[in-house]
Amino acid sequence: MTIDPTLSWLPASDTYIQQSNPSTNFNGSTGLLTGTTNGGGDRARSLLTFDASAVAGTHIMSATLHVFNLQSSVCSSTNANTLSVHQITSAWNPATVTWSSGAPSWSNTAAATSARAYQGTTACPGAYIDLNLTGVVASWASGAAGNWGVLLRAQSEVDNAGFRKLYSKDHAGARPAWT
């Protein structure tokens, strides 16, 4: 017998860190940033945590992270600088983390990627980007890896085509979630 409920979770916390504001904590912001707008002179990365205790000990068949991209430097479904999701491998505090305070360590191997980007214009309205996190959530559920969340970053942090502004959990609508 297979029980296949569909569950959905908002992040327990989310924030971003930014090179040009190295001591600023952005927890509570309605947006999350990734990438650069000036050739790598200013980089941003987003961090999200999810309470996965409800799935502990279960077999995960599918897990997808949905993030709403409201602004990008390009509009593309195939050739934007890839958005990469990496599993975070150490503890961090969303209320205190900053670029200079030492972002948590993360896996160099991307758990999921997407080349989709939306500019948030009439011709290219904002939309959700879906990222397959089945392996990450399965490792949390099995206890094989600690659950410290995920880091979102531009694959190339010197290519302006990787800039994205996403809605955070603190936005009134279109918040990130995984199902």
Instruction: From 48, 28, 33, select the one nearest 137 (Cα to Cα).
Output: 48
In terms of C-beta density within 10 A (0-12 exposed, 13-18 middle, 19 or more buried), how is residue 113 classed? middle
- Determine the average pLDDT of the residues in 71-80: 83
Report how many domains make up the chain: 1
| pLDDT above 80 for 78 | no
Determine, yes or no, domain membership for 8.
no
Determine, yes or no, domain membership for 55.
yes
Q: Which amino acid would we find at residue 176?
A: P
- Determine the average pLDDT of the residues in 136-155: 93
Q: What is the pLDDT of residues 164-174, one digit of tens each?
A: 999 999 999 89
Q: What is the pLDDT of residues 30-65, one digit of tens each?
A: 999 999 999 999 999 999 999 888 889 989 999 999
Cα distances from 120 to residues 19, 126, 131, 174, in angstroms, run 24, 4, 19, 13
pTM of the predicted protein model: 0.93
Per-residue model confidence (pLDDT) at position 5: 64
Confidence of residue 88 (pLDDT cuts 50, 70, 90): very high
- Determine the average pLDDT of the residues in 88-115: 94
Q: End-to-end alpha-carbon separation of the chain, Å?
A: 21
Determine, yes or no, domain membership for 59.
yes
H or E element at residue 141 = helix 134-142
List the single range of 79-83, 105-109, 134-138 with lowest mean pLDDT.
Answer: 79-83
Determine, yes or no, domain membership for 80.
yes
Q: Which domain holds residue 74?
A: 13-178
Per-residue model confidence (pLDDT) at position 1: 32
Place of tokens 């090179």: 19
Per-residue model confidence (pLDDT) at position 133: 95
Contact (Cβ atoms closer than 8 angstroms) between residue 106 and residue 151: yes
Structure-derived torsion over alpha carbons of residues 87, 92, 94, 98, reported in degrees to the nearest 10: -100
Per-residue model confidence (pLDDT) at position 76: 84
| pLDDT above 70 for 83 | yes
- Determine the average pLDDT of the residues in 59-82: 89
Instruction: From 165, 148, 131, select the one nearest 30 (Cα to Cα).
Output: 165
Per-residue model confidence (pLDDT) at position 4: 59
Per-residue model confidence (pLDDT) at position 144: 85
Per-residue model confidence (pLDDT) at position 3: 47
Alpha carbon 159 to its chain centroid, in Å, reads 18
Per-residue model confidence (pLDDT) at position 53: 87
